[in-house]
Amino acid sequence: MILVLLGPPGAGKGTQATRLSEVFGLEHLSSGDVLRAERKSGTDLGQRVASYMDAGELVPDEIIIEVILARVLKAAEGSGVLLDGFPRTAAQAQKLDESLEAAGGGVDLVVSLVVPDEPIVARITGRRSCPTCGSVYHIASLPPKAEGVCDKDGTALVQRSDDTEEVVAQRLAAYHAQTEPLEAYYREQGLLAEVDGTQDIDAVFVQSREVVRSRVGKVGS
């Protein structure tokens, strides 16, 4: 199964991707996580993408396609993949379709987490994550048991460098201009399912899981 999660920054893509990939036995592939890992290890690629990410702009299509596509195709050969953050532009979506088609497959379902701009800033500026295991928290809606410390491994939680109010505004602008049009692209193919992302985290998960079950027919536990 090839499942795509769409939605604005802070919609809950990463939060839901972790749960959905577990239930449906999919590899969770987050383009943002891949880019952040490159930055952290100081590769040429990491240095090239840093300025775009810090400005809240999308990384150019040719770079992201080069970085992600081979991983997508490899994961698609296995038990399937949940794409979180890719594709994000029309060019990326078309390239993904062409490549999957050449391999005899295609996207099975696109779940769009619908969240208006208003709650996004509070969600993003309140996000904290664990640099060791990647667990994501929120200071108000999903706090760790002990303040500032990961429940799973005790590591001090950190805030992403692009999670400031100013950068969020730019990320939202990029989303509306370049990514939101993908909803129409996938709707025309009959692949789009919308989920109300303003509900609490558990309710969004249940609704998303049921949409996947009913549309793709896989039975997650």
| Footprint of ligand AP5 (CB under 6 A) | 7, 9-15, 31-32, 35, 52-53, 56-59, 64, 85-86, 88, 92, 123-124, 126-127, 136-138, 141-142, 171, 197, 200-201, 204
Residue 160 annotated in active site: yes
Residue 128 annotated in active site: no
Residue 88 annotated in active site: yes
Residue number with CB closer to ligand AP5 (171 or 209):
171
Residue number with CB closer to ligand AP5 (80 or 197):
197
Residue 48 annotated in active site: no
CA atoms of 1 and 210, how far apart (whole Å)? 15
CA angle 12, 14, 15 (to 5 degrees): 65
Residue 13 annotated in active site: yes
The distance of closest approach from Cβ of residue 172 to ligand AP5 in the complex, given in angstroms and rounded to an integer, is 9
Residue whose C-beta lies closest to ligand AP5: 32
The distance of closest approach from Cβ of residue 217 to ligand AP5 in the complex, given in angstroms and rounded to an integer, is 26
CA atoms of 169 and 175, how far apart (whole Å)? 10
Q: What dihedral do alpha carbons 40, 159, 175, 13 form, nearest 10°?
A: 90
Give the active site residues.
13, 88, 127, 160, 171
